[in-house]
Structure 1
């Protein structure tokens, strides 16, 4: 698998289903941080799992709040 394998697979599936999407693999990373922050999870654990430097993800997660999609 390459760095964009998941993104390509999701886009291919969405195209076949006729559901247009505009996101990248980074959307999954930032989604993890956003949900974790909303649920009160430990910031260090979120940073470690998302691959960010510790404490650097908080601004990204907070700024992305308006991009949330509810399914």
Structure 2
């Protein structure tokens, strides 16, 4: 995985397909699930968070200060 860190406006960070790095070093991917809404996948430990009906619900529960948008290239083998 190739990662480049990038500062961005808060509203630009939380979109489907974006990769986010937290202060604790964990890296997350925001995904849209068919018929279930949205969720967050922790790419550091393969943990999947709960489902959220809307992106606003996801942001309310998941977003915190110190998170940053990451320019990541994922290669799946």
**TM-score, normalised on structure 2?**
0.27
Higher-strand-fraction structure: 2
Higher relative contact order (CA 8 A, sep 6+): 2
**TM-score, normalised on structure 1?**
0.28
